[in-house]
Structure 1
Protein backbone atom coordinates (compact mmCIF):
# COMPACT_ATOMS: atom_id res chain seq x y z
CA UNK A 1 0.00 0.00 0.00
CA UNK A 2 1.48 3.33 -1.08
CA UNK A 3 -0.07 6.45 0.47
CA UNK A 4 1.80 9.52 1.70
CA UNK A 5 -0.96 10.71 4.06
CA UNK A 6 -0.29 8.76 7.24
CA UNK A 7 -3.82 8.94 8.66
CA UNK A 8 -5.42 7.61 5.47
CA UNK A 9 -2.73 4.94 5.03
CA UNK A 10 -3.10 3.67 8.58
CA UNK A 11 -6.89 3.63 8.31
CA UNK A 12 -6.84 1.58 5.09
CA UNK A 13 -4.28 -0.77 6.59
CA UNK A 14 -6.41 -1.22 9.71
CA UNK A 15 -9.45 -2.25 7.66
CA UNK A 16 -7.36 -4.78 5.75
CA UNK A 17 -5.64 -6.17 8.82
CA UNK A 18 -9.00 -6.70 10.51
CA UNK A 19 -9.96 -8.89 7.55
CA UNK A 20 -6.82 -10.97 7.99
CA UNK A 21 -4.78 -9.56 5.10
CA UNK A 22 -1.05 -8.96 5.25
CA UNK A 23 -0.24 -5.30 4.60
CA UNK A 24 3.03 -3.57 3.77
CA UNK A 25 2.78 0.22 4.16
CA UNK A 26 4.86 2.70 2.16
CA UNK A 27 4.71 6.50 2.27
CA UNK A 28 6.61 7.26 -0.94
CA UNK A 29 7.30 5.89 -4.39
CA UNK A 30 10.95 5.28 -3.49
CA UNK A 31 9.99 3.21 -0.46
CA UNK A 32 7.47 1.26 -2.54
CA UNK A 33 10.02 0.44 -5.24
CA UNK A 34 12.45 -0.83 -2.61
CA UNK A 35 9.75 -3.13 -1.20
CA UNK A 36 8.93 -4.37 -4.72
CA UNK A 37 12.53 -5.47 -5.10
CA UNK A 38 12.35 -7.42 -1.84
CA UNK A 39 9.00 -9.15 -2.25
CA UNK A 40 5.95 -9.45 -4.50
CA UNK A 41 2.29 -8.84 -3.71
CA UNK A 42 -1.07 -9.95 -5.05
CA UNK A 43 -2.66 -6.48 -4.88
CA UNK A 44 -1.08 -3.02 -4.85
CA UNK A 45 -3.04 -0.06 -3.47
CA UNK A 46 -1.65 3.21 -4.82
CA UNK A 47 -2.36 6.87 -4.25
CA UNK A 48 -2.02 8.91 -7.45
CA UNK A 49 -0.22 11.92 -5.98
CA UNK A 50 2.97 10.82 -4.22
CA UNK A 51 6.37 12.37 -3.46
CA UNK A 52 8.71 11.55 -6.33
CA UNK A 53 7.10 9.28 -8.89
CA UNK A 54 3.31 9.34 -9.12
CA UNK A 55 1.15 6.30 -8.49
CA UNK A 56 0.44 6.08 -12.21
CA UNK A 57 4.17 5.90 -12.97
CA UNK A 58 4.60 3.13 -10.39
CA UNK A 59 1.92 1.05 -12.15
CA UNK A 60 4.22 0.58 -15.14
CA UNK A 61 6.99 -0.74 -12.91
CA UNK A 62 4.61 -3.07 -11.06
CA UNK A 63 3.24 -4.58 -14.24
CA UNK A 64 6.75 -5.00 -15.67
CA UNK A 65 7.90 -6.87 -12.57
CA UNK A 66 4.71 -8.76 -11.72
CA UNK A 67 2.17 -8.69 -14.58
CA UNK A 68 -0.25 -10.94 -12.71
CA UNK A 69 -0.61 -8.51 -9.80
CA UNK A 70 -3.66 -6.26 -9.49
CA UNK A 71 -3.52 -2.51 -8.88
CA UNK A 72 -6.15 -0.39 -7.13
CA UNK A 73 -5.76 3.37 -7.51
CA UNK A 74 -7.14 5.27 -4.50
CA UNK A 75 -7.10 9.01 -5.12
CA UNK A 76 -8.92 12.33 -4.78
CA UNK A 77 -8.76 12.72 -8.57
CA UNK A 78 -12.43 12.10 -9.40
CA UNK A 79 -12.78 13.58 -12.88
CA UNK A 80 -13.80 11.05 -15.57
CA UNK A 81 -10.69 11.79 -17.63
CA UNK A 82 -8.49 11.07 -14.59
CA UNK A 83 -10.23 7.75 -14.00
CA UNK A 84 -9.88 6.79 -17.66
CA UNK A 85 -6.21 7.81 -17.62
CA UNK A 86 -5.48 5.70 -14.54
CA UNK A 87 -7.16 2.64 -16.00
CA UNK A 88 -5.46 3.08 -19.36
CA UNK A 89 -2.09 3.31 -17.61
CA UNK A 90 -2.63 -0.19 -16.23
CA UNK A 91 -4.64 0.15 -13.00
CA UNK A 92 -7.18 -2.65 -12.60
CA UNK A 93 -9.64 -0.61 -10.54
CA UNK A 94 -10.11 2.95 -9.34
CA UNK A 95 -11.56 4.29 -6.07
CA UNK A 96 -12.05 7.97 -5.33
CA UNK A 97 -11.59 9.62 -1.93
CA UNK A 98 -13.45 9.86 0.35
CA UNK A 99 -14.63 6.26 0.18
CA UNK A 100 -16.72 3.83 2.19
CA UNK A 101 -14.54 1.20 3.94
CA UNK A 102 -16.94 -1.57 2.90
CA UNK A 103 -16.58 -0.56 -0.74
CA UNK A 104 -12.79 -0.47 -0.37
CA UNK A 105 -12.73 -4.00 1.07
CA UNK A 106 -15.11 -5.26 -1.61
CA UNK A 107 -12.81 -3.89 -4.32
CA UNK A 108 -9.81 -5.63 -2.73
CA UNK A 109 -11.68 -8.94 -2.55
CA UNK A 110 -12.75 -8.61 -6.19
CA UNK A 111 -9.16 -7.95 -7.29
CA UNK A 112 -7.92 -10.95 -5.33
CA UNK A 113 -10.43 -13.14 -7.15
CA UNK A 114 -8.94 -12.00 -10.45
CA UNK A 115 -5.35 -12.49 -9.36
CA UNK A 116 -3.66 -15.70 -10.41
CA UNK A 117 -2.61 -17.56 -7.30
CA UNK A 118 0.54 -19.66 -7.33
CA UNK A 119 -0.47 -23.34 -7.44
CA UNK A 120 2.97 -24.82 -8.12
CA UNK A 121 6.44 -23.86 -6.94
CA UNK A 122 9.23 -22.31 -9.00
CA UNK A 123 11.41 -24.87 -10.77
CA UNK A 124 14.15 -24.52 -8.14
CA UNK A 125 11.75 -25.04 -5.21
CA UNK A 126 10.34 -28.52 -5.80
CA UNK A 127 11.15 -29.39 -2.19
CA UNK A 128 9.75 -27.05 0.47
CA UNK A 129 10.42 -27.27 4.21
CA UNK A 130 8.25 -25.22 6.55
CA UNK A 131 8.41 -25.73 10.33
CA UNK A 132 8.93 -29.47 10.07
CA UNK A 133 6.54 -29.97 7.16
CA UNK A 134 8.32 -31.11 3.99
CA UNK A 135 6.51 -31.07 0.66
CA UNK A 136 8.06 -32.47 -2.51
CA UNK A 137 6.06 -31.11 -5.43
CA UNK A 138 7.94 -33.30 -7.90
CA UNK A 139 7.31 -36.67 -6.24
CA UNK A 140 4.06 -35.66 -4.49
CA UNK A 141 5.47 -36.80 -1.15
CA UNK A 142 4.81 -35.05 2.13
CA UNK A 143 6.09 -35.62 5.66
CA UNK A 144 5.99 -33.95 9.04
CA UNK A 145 9.03 -34.27 11.32
CA UNK A 146 10.19 -37.15 9.14
CA UNK A 147 6.91 -39.09 9.31
CA UNK A 148 5.20 -39.59 5.93
CA UNK A 149 1.65 -38.27 5.56
CA UNK A 150 -0.96 -39.62 3.19
CA UNK A 151 -3.11 -36.96 1.55
CA UNK A 152 -5.73 -37.16 -1.17
CA UNK A 153 -4.89 -35.37 -4.46
CA UNK A 154 -7.25 -32.54 -3.49
CA UNK A 155 -5.68 -32.18 -0.05
CA UNK A 156 -2.16 -32.17 -1.50
CA UNK A 157 -2.98 -29.44 -4.03
CA UNK A 158 -4.85 -27.41 -1.42
CA UNK A 159 -1.99 -27.55 1.08
CA UNK A 160 0.56 -26.86 -1.65
CA UNK A 161 -1.32 -23.76 -2.78
CA UNK A 162 -1.60 -22.43 0.78
CA UNK A 163 2.08 -23.08 1.54
CA UNK A 164 3.28 -21.49 -1.70
CA UNK A 165 1.25 -18.39 -0.80
CA UNK A 166 2.27 -18.40 2.88
CA UNK A 167 0.85 -15.45 4.79
CA UNK A 168 -1.55 -14.49 1.98
CA UNK A 169 -5.30 -14.80 2.51
CA UNK A 170 -6.76 -16.92 -0.29
CA UNK A 171 -10.48 -16.89 -0.99
CA UNK A 172 -12.42 -20.12 -1.41
CA UNK A 173 -12.90 -19.21 -5.07
CA UNK A 174 -9.14 -18.91 -5.61
CA UNK A 175 -8.49 -22.23 -3.90
CA UNK A 176 -11.18 -24.01 -5.90
CA UNK A 177 -9.77 -22.61 -9.15
CA UNK A 178 -6.28 -23.81 -8.32
CA UNK A 179 -7.03 -27.34 -7.14
CA UNK A 180 -9.52 -28.25 -9.85
CA UNK A 181 -8.11 -30.68 -12.39
CA UNK A 182 -8.48 -34.07 -13.97
CA UNK A 183 -10.20 -36.35 -11.49
CA UNK A 184 -10.62 -33.52 -8.99
CA UNK A 185 -13.94 -31.72 -8.70
CA UNK A 186 -14.35 -29.21 -5.91
CA UNK A 187 -17.29 -26.91 -5.33
CA UNK A 188 -18.43 -24.40 -2.71
CA UNK A 189 -18.07 -25.36 0.91
CA UNK A 190 -16.26 -28.62 0.13
CA UNK A 191 -13.10 -26.51 0.53
CA UNK A 192 -13.99 -26.28 4.22
CA UNK A 193 -14.30 -30.07 4.38
CA UNK A 194 -10.87 -30.49 2.78
CA UNK A 195 -9.34 -28.02 5.24
CA UNK A 196 -10.92 -29.90 8.14
CA UNK A 197 -9.41 -33.15 6.84
CA UNK A 198 -6.01 -31.51 6.36
CA UNK A 199 -5.93 -30.18 9.89
CA UNK A 200 -6.66 -33.63 11.30
CA UNK A 201 -3.93 -35.29 9.24
CA UNK A 202 -1.38 -32.55 9.95
CA UNK A 203 -1.88 -32.63 13.71
CA UNK A 204 -0.34 -29.64 15.50
CA UNK A 205 0.94 -28.24 12.19
CA UNK A 206 -2.68 -27.97 11.06
CA UNK A 207 -3.14 -25.10 13.52
CA UNK A 208 -1.07 -22.98 11.13
CA UNK A 209 -3.96 -23.04 8.65
CA UNK A 210 -6.04 -20.03 9.69
CA UNK A 211 -9.68 -19.49 8.84
CA UNK A 212 -10.34 -15.90 7.77
CA UNK A 213 -14.04 -15.50 8.42
CA UNK A 214 -16.06 -14.58 5.36
CA UNK A 215 -13.00 -14.74 3.10
CA UNK A 216 -11.05 -18.00 3.05
CA UNK A 217 -7.81 -19.38 4.48
CA UNK A 218 -4.10 -18.73 4.87
CA UNK A 219 -1.03 -20.42 6.30
CA UNK A 220 0.61 -18.41 9.09
CA UNK A 221 3.90 -16.77 8.20
CA UNK A 222 6.95 -18.72 9.35
CA UNK A 223 8.95 -16.34 11.55
CA UNK A 224 12.61 -17.33 11.81
Structure 2
Protein backbone atom coordinates (compact mmCIF):
# COMPACT_ATOMS: atom_id res chain seq x y z
CA UNK A 1 0.00 0.00 0.00
CA UNK A 2 1.28 3.48 -0.89
CA UNK A 3 2.38 5.44 2.16
CA UNK A 4 0.70 8.82 2.68
CA UNK A 5 3.07 11.62 3.72
CA UNK A 6 1.99 15.02 5.05
CA UNK A 7 4.49 17.78 4.23
CA UNK A 8 4.14 21.10 6.08
CA UNK A 9 6.64 23.64 4.76
CA UNK A 10 6.12 27.40 4.28
CA UNK A 11 8.93 27.82 1.72
CA UNK A 12 6.86 27.15 -1.39
CA UNK A 13 9.78 26.27 -3.69
CA UNK A 14 11.31 23.88 -1.18
CA UNK A 15 7.92 22.31 -0.50
CA UNK A 16 7.39 21.78 -4.22
CA UNK A 17 10.85 20.25 -4.63
CA UNK A 18 10.30 17.80 -1.77
CA UNK A 19 6.78 17.00 -3.01
CA UNK A 20 8.07 16.11 -6.48
CA UNK A 21 10.83 13.92 -5.04
CA UNK A 22 8.39 12.09 -2.78
CA UNK A 23 5.95 11.68 -5.66
CA UNK A 24 8.70 10.18 -7.83
CA UNK A 25 9.37 7.68 -5.03
CA UNK A 26 5.74 6.55 -5.20
CA UNK A 27 4.42 8.24 -2.06
CA UNK A 28 1.05 9.94 -1.81
CA UNK A 29 1.77 13.51 -0.68
CA UNK A 30 -0.41 16.17 0.94
CA UNK A 31 1.10 19.65 1.33
CA UNK A 32 0.30 22.53 3.69
CA UNK A 33 2.14 25.83 4.05
CA UNK A 34 1.23 26.82 7.61
CA UNK A 35 0.98 25.09 10.95
CA UNK A 36 -2.76 25.31 11.59
CA UNK A 37 -3.68 24.00 8.12
CA UNK A 38 -1.17 21.21 8.50
CA UNK A 39 -2.53 20.23 11.90
CA UNK A 40 -6.08 20.07 10.53
CA UNK A 41 -4.89 17.87 7.66
CA UNK A 42 -3.00 15.60 10.07
CA UNK A 43 -6.14 15.07 12.12
CA UNK A 44 -8.41 14.55 9.11
CA UNK A 45 -6.25 12.43 6.80
CA UNK A 46 -4.23 10.39 9.34
CA UNK A 47 -0.99 10.26 7.29
CA UNK A 48 1.60 7.51 7.67
CA UNK A 49 4.35 10.08 8.29
CA UNK A 50 4.62 13.86 8.66
CA UNK A 51 7.47 16.16 7.65
CA UNK A 52 7.36 19.56 9.38
CA UNK A 53 9.40 22.70 9.08
CA UNK A 54 10.42 24.06 12.49
CA UNK A 55 9.55 27.70 11.79
CA UNK A 56 6.00 27.58 10.43
CA UNK A 57 3.64 30.55 10.34
CA UNK A 58 0.72 30.34 12.73
CA UNK A 59 2.03 27.33 14.62
CA UNK A 60 5.65 26.24 14.98
CA UNK A 61 6.66 22.69 14.15
CA UNK A 62 7.36 22.05 17.84
CA UNK A 63 3.92 23.26 18.94
CA UNK A 64 2.43 21.26 16.05
CA UNK A 65 4.06 18.12 17.51
CA UNK A 66 2.76 18.84 21.01
CA UNK A 67 -0.81 19.29 19.82
CA UNK A 68 -0.66 16.27 17.54
CA UNK A 69 0.64 14.02 20.33
CA UNK A 70 -2.02 15.37 22.68
CA UNK A 71 -4.64 13.76 20.40
CA UNK A 72 -2.98 10.36 20.85
CA UNK A 73 -1.53 10.27 17.33
CA UNK A 74 1.54 8.04 16.93
CA UNK A 75 2.36 9.15 13.37
CA UNK A 76 6.16 9.47 12.88
CA UNK A 77 7.25 13.12 12.63
CA UNK A 78 10.44 14.39 11.01
CA UNK A 79 11.35 18.03 11.74
CA UNK A 80 13.18 20.09 9.13
CA UNK A 81 15.23 22.73 10.90
CA UNK A 82 18.06 25.21 10.45
CA UNK A 83 18.62 24.97 14.22
CA UNK A 84 21.51 22.66 15.06
CA UNK A 85 21.98 23.45 18.74
CA UNK A 86 21.62 20.51 21.12
CA UNK A 87 18.99 22.37 23.15
CA UNK A 88 16.85 22.92 20.06
CA UNK A 89 17.08 19.29 19.02
CA UNK A 90 16.13 18.15 22.51
CA UNK A 91 13.14 20.55 22.52
CA UNK A 92 11.90 19.09 19.24
CA UNK A 93 12.27 15.49 20.40
CA UNK A 94 10.65 16.27 23.77
CA UNK A 95 7.69 17.79 21.93
CA UNK A 96 7.07 14.48 20.20
CA UNK A 97 9.16 14.59 17.02
CA UNK A 98 10.77 11.28 16.09
CA UNK A 99 13.65 12.67 14.05
CA UNK A 100 15.09 15.87 12.62
CA UNK A 101 16.99 16.81 9.47
CA UNK A 102 19.15 19.93 9.51
CA UNK A 103 18.92 22.38 6.62
CA UNK A 104 20.48 22.41 4.13
CA UNK A 105 20.03 18.69 3.63
CA UNK A 106 20.39 16.20 0.80
CA UNK A 107 17.14 14.74 -0.48
CA UNK A 108 18.79 11.29 -0.32
CA UNK A 109 19.21 11.66 3.45
CA UNK A 110 15.59 12.74 3.90
CA UNK A 111 14.33 9.83 1.80
CA UNK A 112 16.46 7.40 3.81
CA UNK A 113 15.02 8.75 7.09
CA UNK A 114 11.50 8.41 5.69
CA UNK A 115 12.07 4.79 4.64
CA UNK A 116 13.53 3.94 8.05
CA UNK A 117 10.56 5.36 9.97
CA UNK A 118 7.97 3.80 7.68
CA UNK A 119 9.71 0.44 7.96
CA UNK A 120 9.74 0.71 11.76
CA UNK A 121 6.06 1.64 11.77
CA UNK A 122 5.17 -1.34 9.59
CA UNK A 123 7.04 -3.67 11.95
CA UNK A 124 5.17 -2.22 14.94
CA UNK A 125 1.85 -2.46 13.12
CA UNK A 126 2.11 -6.24 13.17
CA UNK A 127 2.02 -6.10 16.97
CA UNK A 128 -0.56 -3.35 17.34
CA UNK A 129 -4.29 -3.69 16.73
CA UNK A 130 -6.38 -0.53 16.71
CA UNK A 131 -10.02 0.41 16.24
CA UNK A 132 -11.49 3.83 16.95
CA UNK A 133 -9.66 4.98 20.13
CA UNK A 134 -8.96 1.42 21.31
CA UNK A 135 -5.38 0.13 20.97
CA UNK A 136 -4.01 -3.31 21.84
CA UNK A 137 -0.33 -4.25 21.71
CA UNK A 138 0.19 -7.97 21.27
CA UNK A 139 3.87 -7.84 22.21
CA UNK A 140 3.58 -5.82 25.43
CA UNK A 141 -0.03 -6.94 26.16
CA UNK A 142 -0.97 -3.32 26.86
CA UNK A 143 -4.43 -1.95 26.10
CA UNK A 144 -5.41 1.71 25.85
CA UNK A 145 -8.68 3.57 25.36
CA UNK A 146 -7.35 6.88 24.09
CA UNK A 147 -4.65 7.78 26.64
CA UNK A 148 -6.20 5.65 29.40
CA UNK A 149 -4.43 2.37 30.19
CA UNK A 150 -6.77 -0.57 30.79
CA UNK A 151 -5.75 -3.46 33.03
CA UNK A 152 -7.07 -6.77 31.67
CA UNK A 153 -6.77 -10.34 32.83
CA UNK A 154 -5.12 -12.82 30.46
CA UNK A 155 -8.44 -14.19 29.19
CA UNK A 156 -10.00 -10.73 28.84
CA UNK A 157 -6.99 -9.73 26.75
CA UNK A 158 -7.29 -12.86 24.56
CA UNK A 159 -10.99 -12.21 23.95
CA UNK A 160 -10.44 -8.55 23.07
CA UNK A 161 -7.53 -9.47 20.78
CA UNK A 162 -9.76 -11.94 18.92
CA UNK A 163 -12.53 -9.38 18.42
CA UNK A 164 -9.99 -6.72 17.38
CA UNK A 165 -8.35 -9.01 14.83
CA UNK A 166 -11.26 -8.37 12.42
CA UNK A 167 -13.28 -5.31 13.45
CA UNK A 168 -16.93 -5.22 12.32
CA UNK A 169 -16.94 -8.98 11.70
CA UNK A 170 -19.62 -10.85 13.64
CA UNK A 171 -18.27 -13.83 15.59
CA UNK A 172 -20.56 -16.63 16.72
CA UNK A 173 -20.39 -18.00 20.25
CA UNK A 174 -18.91 -21.25 18.89
CA UNK A 175 -16.16 -19.35 17.04
CA UNK A 176 -15.27 -17.40 20.18
CA UNK A 177 -15.25 -20.52 22.36
CA UNK A 178 -13.04 -22.41 19.93
CA UNK A 179 -10.54 -19.60 19.28
CA UNK A 180 -10.33 -18.03 22.74
CA UNK A 181 -11.04 -20.90 25.13
CA UNK A 182 -10.00 -23.80 22.91
CA UNK A 183 -11.93 -26.44 20.97
CA UNK A 184 -11.84 -28.82 23.95
CA UNK A 185 -13.36 -26.33 26.42
CA UNK A 186 -15.88 -28.21 28.59
CA UNK A 187 -17.08 -25.37 30.81
CA UNK A 188 -20.27 -23.30 30.81
CA UNK A 189 -20.82 -21.54 27.46
CA UNK A 190 -22.22 -18.58 29.42
CA UNK A 191 -18.57 -17.77 30.15
CA UNK A 192 -18.60 -15.64 26.97
CA UNK A 193 -21.37 -13.37 28.27
CA UNK A 194 -19.53 -13.02 31.57
CA UNK A 195 -16.28 -11.93 29.93
CA UNK A 196 -18.03 -9.64 27.45
CA UNK A 197 -19.59 -7.90 30.45
CA UNK A 198 -16.19 -7.62 32.16
CA UNK A 199 -14.68 -6.09 29.03
CA UNK A 200 -17.50 -3.61 28.57
CA UNK A 201 -17.21 -2.44 32.17
CA UNK A 202 -13.50 -1.77 31.73
CA UNK A 203 -13.69 -0.26 28.24
CA UNK A 204 -16.61 2.00 29.18
CA UNK A 205 -15.42 2.88 32.68
CA UNK A 206 -15.42 6.62 31.87
CA UNK A 207 -18.64 6.58 29.88
CA UNK A 208 -16.88 5.98 26.58
CA UNK A 209 -19.07 4.82 23.72
CA UNK A 210 -19.72 1.11 23.37
CA UNK A 211 -17.50 -0.81 20.94
CA UNK A 212 -18.42 -4.44 21.69
CA UNK A 213 -21.94 -5.08 20.42
CA UNK A 214 -24.29 -8.03 20.76
CA UNK A 215 -25.73 -9.28 17.47
CA UNK A 216 -28.92 -10.90 18.66
CA UNK A 217 -29.15 -14.58 17.83
CA UNK A 218 -25.68 -14.66 16.30
CA UNK A 219 -22.84 -13.48 18.52
CA UNK A 220 -20.65 -10.42 19.03
CA UNK A 221 -18.84 -7.82 16.97
CA UNK A 222 -16.44 -4.97 17.59
CA UNK A 223 -17.88 -2.03 15.66
CA UNK A 224 -19.14 1.54 15.80
CA UNK A 225 -22.46 2.33 17.43
Q: Shorter-normalised TM-score: what interval?
A: 0.5 to 0.7
More strand by share: 2
1:2 is matched with which residue? Answer: 8
Q: Is 1:73 paired with 2:79?
A: yes
Once the 2 structures are TM-superposed, how far is the Cα of residue 139 of structure 1 from its aligned partner? 6.8
Query: Structure 2 residue aligned with 1:46, among 49, 52, 55?
Result: 52
Once the 2 structures are TM-superposed, how far is the Cα of residue 67 of structure 1 from its aligned partner? 2.9
- Give the Cα–Cα distance (whole angstroms) in 1 for the partners of residues 167 and 60 of structure 2: 43
Q: Is the 8 A contact 2:9 2:34 kept in 1?
A: yes
1:90 is matched with which residue? Answer: 96
For structure 2, the 5+ residue unaligned runs are: 1-6, 133-165, 172-225
Report the TM-score when normalising by structure 1: 0.52
Q: Is the 8 A contact 1:75 1:96 kept in 2?
A: yes
1:37 is matched with which residue? Answer: 43
For structure 1, the 5+ residue unaligned runs are: 124-134, 141-224
Q: Which one has a bigger Cα radius of gyration? A: 2
* CA distance 1:40–1:66, shift in 2 (3 Å): farther
Report the TM-score when normalising by structure 2: 0.52
Structure 1 runs (4+) deviating above 3 angstroms are 116-123
Q: Is the 8 A contact 2:131 2:167 kept in 1?
A: no
Moved more, 114-123 or 10-19: 114-123
2:158 is matched with which residue? Answer: none
Query: Structure 1 residue aligned with 2:31, among 9, 25, 28?
Result: 25
- Give the Cα–Cα distance (whole angstroms) in 1 for the partners of residues 114 and 98 of structure 2: 11
- Give the Cα–Cα distance (whole angstroms) in 2 for the partners of residues 121 and 33 of structure 1: 22
Q: Once superposed, what is the RMSD of the aligned Cα atoms?
A: 2.5
